[in-house]
A and B are shown apart, each in its own frame.
Chain A
Amino acid sequence: MSLENYRSHYTFGMDFGTSDFKFGPITCGENPWIVNNRGYFPDKRSAVYRAFETAADVVVGDDVPLYLQSSEDLTARLVYPMRNGMVEKSDDNAWRVVSALCEFGLNAYPTKQNNGFQGYNVVASLSSVSPRYMYERLLDIFKQANRSGMVRAVTVIPQPFAVAIGHGVTTCVVIESGHGNSQVCPISKYPISSAQVALNRGGGDANAITSEILKDAGYGDLANEESLVRKVKEQIGLVPQDLETAITEAKRSPRKFRARYKVSGTRVEIDLEKNSWTRFLIGEYVFNPNHEIFESYFTRGMPRPRDVKMGDTIFRGMLDFGDAIIASVERCPVELQPLLYREIILSGGNFSWKVPESLEGIAVDAPTKIKSLLRQKDIKNVSVKMTASPQLSVWHGCIIYGFAVPDDYEWNWQRLEGWMKLSG
């Protein structure tokens, strides 16, 4: 089998997202297999485990729900290793989950050894703020996995870089916003790591303010149910073009802006009634938490997004998305800056905001909001787009990278690029 033919069959992509793990070979077409990026550690003292001892040390993939027990049990035994995009160096349980996921992913696509298969060329994708030790640990995991001959070569690329590849743009700024944090990453054929800006704000913060809004509206009993709060955020949360205008309009016509959500299959109905204007706070908080209206929430106990240092990266808490993009682009050569503003790509579930037809103009989508924030800072000639497949673009990028990069381009720790050959 020629090298070209080999790549068109045995290139394998793995995207370690904050919530989901997407994986599969190039032959999957457009849609890889998706499982939760999590693992469950069964209680080995339980009578069932001792009687049968069939469960693995850590359970990953579609079988996890079969092992779940009480909700108290979940906090200790159900581990989401990349909830914040990063795995602590000493968090052995999280690394065991990552290892189990790699093994699960590769074994999900077994290949006959007699048709020229020498192992997959695996491209794994991590958060762009991943420190070097995460690369080292992940590559070690693949070395271990290669004992079964499933991996021929492996490489790791940052997620925003994979998004740019999947989206087909070679000079751009990618903003990836997940559950725990967001990253602004300029790209010009290579990721410009030194210009990267990380924010300590993501979908989880939108959940936090939704929870406060529910408490204020008299739904305190529901405000602690994370999955429900997330649903409420998705159903009633809106991004305002301009917060002041949106609040004024919503207070003037409360019926038009009324936020109501019936939880299907239950008797629970949430109706913000005269407080429906607060639905605009949910979206605004994600993009810009600096408005004075949020101070009342901070003083009443909602934690203010703080600057934190993780690995070598400082995650900024209160920087709005407009300032974050400008800070990132202005670390690049002046010649490159206009080209970067012309291609801003948004990726990640935290940018999926609805715009009800009747509220168009007052409520806007994420690209319009970003444009609006940049316009306020006098950056006008910009183009902002959502990536075509927000959930899958990283995996698409991994597959293209694995297919196109030459086989003899060897892994280099300075560049953090290239193939680490494990066999063949």
Chain B
Amino acid sequence: MGAQQNSPLGMDGSSLSFTLGNDKLIVNILTANDIVQRNRILEVLLHLASFRGALTQLYVVAPRLLGASLDAQIFRSHGIGLLLFDERRIEETIKPQPFFQNSQSQVITATPDPTVLSELATLKSMYSQMERALENIRAEFTSIKQNSEDKAPGLERDTTGLVFEPVMGAPSLLVKPADDTLPPFFANNPWLDVLSRRGRSEVAPLAG
């Protein structure tokens, strides 16, 4: 079965597209007039390179007479193939490097590890138990809270004869910031306490 021609890609009809089995071919034809135009060849190559996501190989086909003016090294370094033709034959002068693409048809179908499955089942069961325990704690807490609210007025009466005194520790002169934004080198630094007592309780030595 031969190749089926698709609708042309370029607006000017210079690009032809064919389907051959699973392969797709895109052909850009440059006329003699195109070749002498400045940057036309470059433009076409860049246009074709933009299909890298969909294509696997890229060729430039040129008359054999033009072959002498083409630098094979440039084609090789960019993985572009070169076909030269004359009236007698078509020859693949440089093989193209296939472009790697992400194959969408590859589906990973890993067989699940039975050990992992068993551990997952255990975790699921533990989680259910934990949820139940949490529910019981919540219920108990609500019950205790209600009981304490009922008994609170009695407690107040019972403490009328007692005197509450604040528990006084050694007064700390250490300045503490309102938030925890101090740099890490402040952590456990004994100088914070020593320096906070400057001018308070000790006699400083004189300099010199």
Contact = CB atoms under 8 A, between A and B. Distances in A.
Interface of A: 2-5, 7-8, 26-30, 164-166, 168-170, 189-194, 312, 396-397, 399-401, 403-406, 408-410, 412, 414-418
A408 to B, nearest CB: 7
Contacts of B176: 4
Interface stretch (B57-65, B74-82, B198-206): B198-206
B20 interface: no
Count class of interface residues, chain B: 20 to 34
A404 B178 contact: no
Interface in B174-208: 174-179, 181-186, 188-196, 198-200, 204-208
Tell which of A26, A29, A168 has the most Cβ of chain B within 10 Å.
A168
A193 B198 CA distance: 18
A168 B185 CA distance: 9
Contacts of B178: 2, 4-5, 8
A414 B206 contact: yes
A29 B175 contact: no
B183 A401 contact: no
Nearest to B173: A406
Nearest to B197: A406
Given A168-B190, A190-B204, A415-B206, A404 B182 contact: no
B196 to A, nearest CB: 5
Given A8-B178, A8-B182, A418 B198 contact: yes
Contacts of A192: 205
A7 B185 contact: no
A193 B206 CA distance: 9
Nearest to B176: A4
Given A7-B177, A406-B196, A190 B205 contact: yes
B198 to A, nearest CB: 5
B205 A400 contact: no
Interface of B: 173-179, 181-186, 188-196, 198-200, 204-208
B177 A170 contact: no
Contacts of A3: 175
Contacts of B182: 8, 26, 403
Contacts of A414: 206-207
A333 to B, nearest CB: 12
Contacts of A165: 189, 191, 195
Contacts of A397: 191
Given A399-B185, A401-B195, 7 more contacts: A8-B181, A30-B184, A170-B191, A194-B208, A404-B191, A404-B194, A415-B205
A405 B195 contact: yes
A302 B124 CA distance: 79
Nearest to A403: B175
A170 B204 contact: no
19 contacts: A7-B177, A8-B179, A165-B189, A190-B205, A312-B208, A396-B183, A399-B185, A400-B192, A400-B195, A403-B175, A404-B194, A405-B196, A405-B198, A406-B200, A409-B198, A412-B204, A414-B206, A415-B207, A417-B204
Given A30-B183, A165-B191, A193 B177 contact: no
B199 A30 contact: no
Contacts of A408: 199
A274 B207 CA distance: 52
Contact of B198 (A5, A169, A396, A417): A417
Contacts of B190: 168-170
A4 to B, nearest CB: 5
A404 B186 CA distance: 10
Nearest to A188: B205
A26 B204 contact: no
A122 to B, nearest CB: 16
B184 to A, nearest CB: 6
In order of increasing CB-CB distance, the 3 nearest A-B pairs are A8-B177, A404-B195, A409-B199
B177 A418 contact: no
A410 B200 CA distance: 12
B196 A404 contact: yes
Contacts of A396: 183, 185
Contacts of A417: 198, 204, 207
